[in-house]
Structure 1
Amino acid sequence: MTSPREFIAGTDPRVLRDAMGCFATGVTVVTALAEDGEPVGLTANSFTSVSLDPPLLLVCPAKNAGTTRVLENTEHFAVNVLGTDQKDLSQLFATKGADRFDGFAFETWDYGVPIIPGSLANFECRRHALHDGGDHMILVGEVERVRFEPNRDPLLYFGGKYRRLHFT
């Protein structure tokens, strides 16, 4: 049996990252349109429901991601929750410099932002608030439209690796 590891403020940030990795999360791709009309997107696992009335969610993209600058300035965006069969999409949208939409068929709904078909859930949002979150930004969206398939399994991320649900 190994001893628990500890993080104390000011010590190795990798230890803190490993500790945060103990919380299993779903995997999303956040999409929007740049000012020139080009679709943009990034993989994010910092995502949660905030409120049902009004319907709010939040996602926390890294400030150093190129797509984050678009998200800071756009009025509408989408959060696409990935299923177990979409690991390749997660990796594509996490790859710096990749042409993420090359040859990729996406849908658009009411606000023209890219919606990834076949996702476990899609949320089309209007920006509600934007907050500083250290090296990430906290983007709160008001949900305008949703589509979801509750009978499929989510793509999970835990301990720095993709995972699947295991029921006992």
Structure 2
Amino acid sequence: MSESDRIDAAIRTAEDLAKGHLPDPADPRLLRDALGRFATGVALVTACDVDDGSPIAIVVNSFASVSLDPPLVLWSAARSSMRHRHFTSAPAFAIHILAEGQRDLTSRFSRSGPGFEGLTLARNGEGVPVLPEALARFDCVTEALHEGGDHTIIIGRVTRFDLQREGGPLCFFGGGFGGFAPGS
């Protein structure tokens, strides 16, 4: 291959790399598929219903650490969720980091799942429902809310946390759940 051919090939490769898709609000599937290539953990967020104080929960993969000083975390709730107003009005909530063996909780807290029925449940110091056996739990008070497109970003100040058990995390990737083996 001549020097000229190598340069032409490098230019074509650079042009191919620069190509991409424009986000299409009318058809977000391709963007959603691309975002799904980022593996995340899975968390169950619990709070109290703002109307009657009953326990509510939502499964999220948007959990992230924000700051250690002060201790802040975030997660986001879809504004289309029927639970949105409860979580955005809640003064406190708990985030449970799910273990690989807790996949059943994701279907339990889907739109038509049985929810808390049959689960062991306690309340933390703020009265928020908490579940045993998560990898970790963060008890939070709501610090701030930020609108972010079709979601609300909820920032919580960690008031206490618990390392509840050892094990591998439940992960979400490409639209499905699975596990992760460190060092593999």
Match of 2:47, SS state, is strand
Distance 1:158 1:118 in 2: 23
Distance 1:159 1:92 in 2: 21
Amino acid at match of 1:102: E
1:59 CA displacement: 0.5
Aligned length: 165
Distance 2:128 2:141 in 1: 11
Structure number with greater Rg is 2
Distance 2:146 2:98 in 1: 25
**Residues 6 and 15 of structure 1 are in contact (CA less than 8 Å); yes or no, is this contact kept in structure 2?**
no
TM (norm. structure 2) is 0.84
Match of 1:61, SS state, is strand
Distance 1:150 1:86 in 2: 12
Amino acid at match of 1:31: T
Unaligned runs of 5+ in 2: 1-15
CA deviation profile, 1:105-136 (whole Å, cap 9, x unmatched): 21211101011110011111000000111111
CA deviation profile, 1:62-97 (whole Å, cap 9, x unmatched): 11112211011110011111001100002211x213
**Residues 60 and 75 of structure 2 are in contact (CA less than 8 Å); yes or no, is this contact kept in structure 1?**
yes
Matches within 5 A, 1:74-153: 74-93=90-109, 95-149=110-164, 151-153=166-168
Distance 2:97 2:128 in 1: 15
Larger relative helix fraction: 2
CA deviation profile, 1:121-156 (whole Å, cap 9, x unmatched): 111100000011111110000000100146311000
TM (norm. structure 1) is 0.91
Matches within 5 A, 1:144-163: 144-149=159-164, 151-163=166-178
Q: Could you say which residue in structure 2 is the equivalent of 1:44?
A: 60
Identity %: 40
Runs of 4+ with >6 A deviation: none
